[in-house]
Each structure stands twice: as C-alpha cells, then as structure tokens.
Structure 1
C-alpha cells in the first residue's frame, strides 16, 4: 500500500485509494445517513455505492474461505467467473441475497473498489499486480 494515500473515510475527508493494480485513483467514504448505510465510491464524475455492511460480510466470507480468492472484477451485466470475489458480491446466497451495489447499472466493479477499502482497514492482504489480483483475509 505504499502508493496509496487516504483520509479519514468521511464525506468531508474521503479515503484516497488506488485500484488493485495501482493504476487509477478513486475516493471512498462511509455514509451512515443513507438508507441503507453505504460505502460510497467516487470515480471521476461517476458515483457508485455499496451496502456498508459489505465490509463486515466480505471479511467474514474471506475468513471462512481461508485462502487466496481471485478478484474477478467486472461491470454489472458482464459475466463473472465462479469462485471470485466479484461473483460472491452478486450471488443469490450471499448475506444480502444478490448485489451489494445500490444503484442499478452501477452495481459492478465491487472487487475493484471494495478490496482496497478492506486492505486500508487492515482486513485483507491484497495483491497489486498488473492483472489477476487476489485477496485473502487477515
């Protein structure tokens, strides 16, 4: 995480993070005022949001998984590989019964944006290769 800088994770002082390959910067913050509470991600002018509970749910799942898991990053509507972090975030059998993303059309890319947040919070180890990155729970 040496190339990643960050704030306090509030709307006024968002985390400044980079995608897993460290190629693109984005902002993220917790917003407890939304219903449901959200993890908000700002990528340029595009704003994505995921249920805030994804942080705890993902860490719990990764602890149970017990090994490295491929990210499998993909846009909403694009196919995802089985056994990936992205696939879990859309699965009917995850704790929310489907997408963690809150805005239709912008519910994908979970692995790309949530994994760096989990790393920042000290919950996972995340690879930073050019492609095919993985994560595992700490």
Structure 2
C-alpha cells in the first residue's frame, strides 16, 4: 500500500532552505477553504493552498532563479523576492497567502521546500540568500 503524504496523519517532513530547522506541513480545510498547515516547533502557520500552483506559475513565467527573501510579517520584504510576491497586492490573491494575522510572513522560508518536495521547483540550500526556480 502506498503512503500518502501531506495529510494530518502523515505530514510532509521538511527542512528550511539552509537545512537548519525541521518543520511539518499538511493539507487541510478551514472555513471551506483548502489550506496548508505549517507547524514549526509550537508555532502553527496557515497558508492558502493555491499558493503552490500560483507560485509555480509565477516561477515559470519568471523563467530564472529568484531570491526567497523570507521575512516576518512585521518586517518589509525585499523587492523582487518570493516573500515580496507572497504578500503583494499584484499576486493572484491580491495580498497575503499567509492566513493567520501576525503570522502571515515567512512565506519564502516555508513554502519553497514544499515546492521542492512536490517536484515543482529547484531550491538552493546555502546558509543564506537562497533562491528557487520552477522545474
């Protein structure tokens, strides 16, 4: 029998791009909306599930490496990064893919490794300033 990953019982076990911290993600539903639940230690973040296909489309259109630029919600995101796109009024959802007020940032830290796990993107694993591109 094949194991299905990405469920609450069998979450994706991932590492941050620099490979320094472990965390888990799984697909769930909240208020009729598909979400990704991201558990980092005791902190639980939620992202709109469509961020996976939307980010993949953006990366394909971009056609080259793009810096991740992870930042907390309270800090500004560096222009031209995955993090900036994940909160931009110009993205397909018109703003934040993060769904929990106060914890909406770090999109560029936690979503790219899931994209790599799903075979949708290539990711660098340097100590800092990592980039990604679509596969």
- Fold shared per TM-score above 0.5: yes
The SS at the match of 2:119 is coil
Q: 1:25 to 1:34 in 2, by over 3 A?
A: farther
Question: Are positions 1:75 and 2:51 aligned together?
Answer: no
Structure 1 stretches of 4+ with a deviation exceeding 6 A read none
Residue by residue over 1:39-92, the C-alpha shift from the partner in whole angstroms, topping out at 9 and shown as x without a partner, is: 110001110000000000000000000000000000002011110000000000
Question: Are positions 1:129 and 2:121 aligned together?
Answer: no
Aligned length: 132
Find the aligned partners of 1:68 and 1:135 in 2 and give their Cα distance. Answer: 5
Find the aligned partners of 1:81 and 1:107 in 2 and give their Cα distance. Answer: 16
Q: Which moved more, 1:30-39 or 1:41-50?
A: 30-39
Partner of 2:90: 93
TM-score (ref. length: structure 1): 0.93
Of 18, 22, 30, the residue aligned with 2:19 is 22
Aligned-residue Cα RMSD (Å) equals: 1.0
TM-score (ref. length: structure 2): 0.95
TM-aligned CA deviation for residue 35 of structure 1: 3.0
